[in-house]
Chain A
Amino acid sequence: MSFPIYYFLFAYLVFLFFWGVFGLIALYHIIKFGFPNFFTFFGTFVFIGGAIILLSVSYNYIAQVDWNTEVSPFQGLLNVNTPFPVTYK
């Protein structure tokens, strides 16, 4: 049995979805409850900027991978060859 490794990409995208939701929750909190001053905007800017950088670097590496590669996780599992020779009398 084998499957393409882009199945792992689906799990990563689910993670990204929830990460985005919590990121929006965090931005909501600082916009709603923070003072309208330099530090509030600077903190927000740093978070968004850092997130963009991390996502860009991630995309750069992910785009280089061939996600259609098949993987067989159970290959060889049912191989009955023993590590040592067995003789029957």
Chain B
Amino acid sequence: MLSLNRLPNALPGEKVVKVLRRDFFIFFKRILFFILLAALPLGFFLAMASVYPILLDGPVSYPLIILAGSGYYLFIWLFFFFSFLDYYLDIWIITSVRIIDVSQEGFFSRKVNELTLNRVQDIESDIQGLWATIFKFGDVKVQTAAEIEDFEFQQVADPEGVKNIIMGLASKAREGQV
């Protein structure tokens, strides 16, 4: 398991400052979506009971409905858990020395990017949209002096606060006060 006490390529004296994930509202929207998916067969069942009630008693149709319903609910339950994993296993770790971006990309595919704070050139926070404004989550883009692509924290809570944390740590890193 991943541990905050055993970070990948840990440096001496490195301390974890903050661990970030996407704002919980993002996952809450997915929960609502799956509740809607779970409710769909109930509506279909009610429609069938009123239009073709004989299907619910048929010696062949009833077993097929049972199998289809079971398969459907098992599928969306598994799909929901994969959606949870996609939310839960994507993390950003801000330490006193670097930023670590851990991204789960499908099955058996995990990407870890690191950026040392003394290479941070510019930081931008961005909140867009109604729900993002209400619940105060958004993106933080970190421009680097390195040749690697810029870091981006996606849909994190309090992006302005995250920006300030990184700015403070980056200036300390540049001054050699780590």
Contacts of A29 in B (CB 8 A): 85, 89, 104, 107
What residues of chain B lie closer than 8 Å to A62, measured between beta carbons?
63, 66-67, 70
A25 close to chain B: CB less than 8 A: yes
- B52-85 vs A: 1/0 string, CB under 8 Å? 0000000110111011001101110110011011
Q: Chain A interface: which of B1-9, B122-130, B132-140, B156-164?
A: B1-9
A22 to B79, CA, bound (A): 10
**Chain A residue nearest in CB terms to B76:** A54
Query: Measured between alpha carbons, how far is A21 from B73 in the docked complex, in Å?
Result: 16
B131 within 8 A of A: no
Chain B contacts of A22 at CB under 8 A? 78
Q: Which residue of A lies closest to B71 (CB)?
A: A15
B174 within 8 A of A: no
A35 touches B3 (CB 8 A): yes
Hey, which chain B residues are within 8 Å of A16, CB to CB?
Answer: 74
Contacts of A35 in B (CB 8 A): 1-4
Within 8 A of B (CB), among A1-58: 5, 8-9, 11-12, 15-16, 19, 22-23, 25-26, 29-36, 39-40, 43, 47, 50-51, 54-55, 57-58
| Contacts from A to B (Cβ < 8 Å) | 5, 8-9, 11-12, 15-16, 19, 22-23, 25-26, 29-36, 39-40, 43, 47, 50-51, 54-55, 57-58, 61-62, 65-67, 69, 71
By a beta-carbon cutoff of 8 Å, the part of chain B in contact with chain A is: 1-4, 59-60, 62-64, 66-67, 70-71, 73-75, 77-78, 81-82, 84-85, 88-89, 102, 104, 107, 110
